Structure 1
Amino acid sequence: MKMQQTYCVSAAPAAAVVNGTYQVLARKESANDGSVYGLFFGADDPQQLSQFYVFWVDPANQSYAVQKLDQGVWTALTQNPVTGNMWLGSTAIAGGANSNLLKVRRQGDEIRLYVNGVFIDRLFDNSFPQNGVAGIANWFGYDTSTATARFDDFRIDRFTVVYADDYSRPDSGWFVGTQEVCQASYLNGLYRTATQPDYVCVYGAPAPGQANGLFSVEVNRGETFYQTAYGLIFAIEGNFDRFYAFLVIPDSQSYAAARYDNGAWTGLTNNPVYNDAWLFSDQINPSTAVNRLAAERDGPSITLFANDANLGTVFDLSPFPLSGSGFGVINWSSQYETAIADFDRYQVTAWEPGETGVIVASSPEGVLRSLPLPPFLNPPDEGTTVDE
């Protein structure tokens, strides 16, 4: 049984980072040791530490908890619905004296928890919006003779823009020319794409790739008589053999998240009324107006944004997750007319350890591929015309 005994915290000798990731490798000295160790963040003064969050891990019970301390008052942010206490079990936690890699990702009021690379929980709290000190913690949690925890490889990573292209340079490396039913060119500081009727064209960025990140772009469609769609793609594997897509139909203010896997499309969003993947949002600008789209991938979770509004988070729980890191754009025509989509200000923001170095553009060259229309993702009211 855990006992409320002594805990010790030590702040990292680093600049405060309010939004970012914090991680450390931890283990207790022996299987019989009484340590419950943790990672604290969102702290105020490294000398006083009167406010902070702490992510506790108890390897003895393979459980975790999150608390916040505010001027001497402890509050649990996790709760077990069965026991009523703050401890939740996770098989991702290695038991005994085995090492566990603890990671917290904090952005605004959102707190994501990971153990050994596995996403285990997401919480929301913004009690300390200006605090950014982080460090390690050890709690003498059991009635044993020792409580000794060992920590290694502590690091903090900020959210960092690792790729950006405003298409002002026509030699920045994206595909230019015509290939089968797809066309692309640089035009007046934009990246213009054209897709012939009844096809989807995907265009890859001239960059080595980024597995997890926030991918964003500004885009608007050209004049058309029929509905078309455009969007972002990421987690690209091979020659666009597998990837995720965030698609928007501006004229119906509809959006969808989908997974493409060697010719098969699977919707990640779901509209139970129409039994398809398309959802409505009044945050999407209609017609030829510009939309700023963003998709944040963090392992199995994908969060979608339109014009800075959060549209929600979906999860890909497939036993065969995508492992690619390429990213780019997508342009989807109607069945009857060529689709024009102009893209601008493509940007990728990263937070993963080892992935926050700037990606070098123009290597390799941008590539593209044409794909047939995904049948079950057909836009609603495909025959509907658009009034300009």
Structure 2
Amino acid sequence: MLASVSAKGFVFLMRYETPDPLHPALLPGLIAAEDGLARLDERAARHAVAEGFRERGQFFDAAAALWVAGELVHVEDLVLHDSHMDARAPSHELTIAHGVLRARRRLELAEPGWALTLPGMNALRGEQGGVAADDGYPEPPNARPSADAVSERADDRDENPLADEFAELDAAIARSQRLLDFHAGSLPEPAPTLSAERAVAEPTGQLGLLFDEEWDEGARLDAWRGVLAAADQLPAGLGAAILFDAWERIEPLRRQHWLGSLLVGAYLRYRGKVASHVLAFNTGLKTIRHERRRSKDRLTRLSAFLEAMAMTADLGLKELDRLSLARTQMEMRIKDRRSNSNLPGLIDLVLSRPVVSTAMIARHLGVTQRGALNLVRELGVREITGRGRYRGWGVI
């Protein structure tokens, strides 16, 4: 695969050659990955706790994505931040993890293969060329919100008393960005009397404050998308591993490098290998040693990625068994309860979140926090956070 990229007057070639799919070093890992993914997809598509499994996987994969990047984000902090119930001011890493979570949810709702198209890629990276959505990504200029978006934002204002203030801040940021783009487009070219070094440092398109002018993301994305045709000719597991290795080598996006692991799940869903959900690839990738994931030998890297897929499938099957056992135990506790009890709703909530707090239970079930504590005590859910102010319960 050959693609040319130009940046700052320099032209260089990015080449990514697909390996031999019948290489003896890849076959054991490929067989294990294909078998594990097929088993996971079959069970996740028909399991009684499939909905909770998919929702919990969103949080675990988002936290694991930051782990792979070398940052630590606690899952309970991510759950509280997603529910607008932060115990403290959110950190930069927590904000990134929430962006991963929102991107995963967007992939779950989208059609298979949408993320691999150019409009889908632009939407995920926040460009205006993508399809607009109401999950925090930029909308096209002069776009009017739909009726569903207006009603959803009204619900958000009811749930979050600071929604109006945040909306004003977002509008101010959008106006500032349009002003910056306007002035950036009107900047003159560097004077010819400047030295060569100074001329390279001068911004040409944008202001150059947040972006590297020599990093052409559009051309790099085109180079990565050029590998898709070759990956489609290979087994789904190996094709996904090659796409992820190409993403790591080409590095199309610098600020959203975590998107590559999400595209692995999107590609497997597009190929029909894991059609029941977007695979939480980061949960298995975090178990692979860094030396293997970043090895200079491509076969070592591909073997590590295939092993990560097999590990993800194994962890997913264990999670399904754990949730199924927990559901059975909790249902045995409420078999003699009245028909209008809130305990069945609490079971669904506990199975859909890695951790729940009294405030989350009270808002979801429409009870007081004292009543939420009583429901938790009756259901016998285990307390897992060990905190004084923000106690949390969940299935381990």
TM over 0.5: no
User: Normalization by structure 1: what TM-score?
Assistant: 0.21
**Which has the larger helix fraction?**
2
